[in-house]
Amino acid sequence: MKRIIIFIFTTIQFMFVAQAAELKFVTHNFPPFSYIKGEALSGAAIDIVRQACDDTDISCSIELLPWKRSQFKVKRGLVQAMLVIGWNNKRAQWLTFSPPLLKTQYGFFVNSSNPLNYSSLSDLAGARVGVLESSNTSEHLKKIRQQMIEANLEPITIQEIHDNTQVFKMLNNEGRNIEMIYSNRDVGNTLIAQGNFNNVRYAGSNEELYYYIGYGRKHADKEVVDRFNMSLQRLQRSGVIQSILAGYNLESAEPE
């Protein structure tokens, strides 16, 4: 009888822990992945996270903040996860990563008066390039600059901007400090449509990559993270994530 009581107590205790599982996410204005529509948080990544939370009965909250503030909150353990992000070595030191959610690309945007169709580093010689500060695109652009120096090309000048919309607005007004933007293609095309930045166009891809959810290494509960990642894999195998992404004209990652 005593064993039965202990078993029941342990089972109830486990169920309570499972029900109490929680993940707090942060993101930033990063359409079409995360943005405010009306007064509600929307976007492809938001829809995927909400679906996975429902699938696992994990209590989830998602907060939209400036990107530097989002990273600060994850590092301090005020929240457990951030979305969506590209992988890089610096981030891997303080984050673990979900299975890849989608495939995307980085590339260059120019003012429509610029005839450039990007194909090689020599196309960038001496250019002033805007990029979102503290971002994966910023890290990649710094590597591009170093590659140009090593190739004896006149290196680009990098101008980091705190807001994606602002940097596209700058390029739309020809001659305002920058000649190009280095950005995610899907984000750039969405911002162009939303802001009616008709003087900006995509000049070509520099790199293809995957986007992930990042979890704070020090503060995210591994058991909860594993449950959440398993849910993402189920949703991917069943085609749910692909369906969500298709609604935003985005490309899915291959199921693991």
- The answer, as to whether pTM is greater than 0.85, is no
Tens of pLDDT, residue by residue over 46-80, are: 999 999 999 998 999 999 999 889 999 999 999 99
Residue 209 has a pLDDT of 94
Under the phi-then-psi rule, with left for phi > 0, alpha for psi from -120 to 50, and beta for the rest, what region is 97? beta
Phi, psi of 184 (to 5 degrees): -65, 135
Q: Using CA atoms, how far apart are residues 46 and 96, in angstroms rounded to an integer?
A: 19
Alpha-carbon dihedral sign for residues 22, 27, 33, 35? positive
Kindly tell me if the per-residue pLDDT of 9 is higher than 50: no
Task: Please provide residue 58's backbone torsions phi and psi, each rounded to the nearest 5 degrees.
Answer: -90, 135
Please give the pLDDT value at position 51.
96
Model confidence over 146-165: pLDDT tens digits?
999 999 999 999 999 988 89
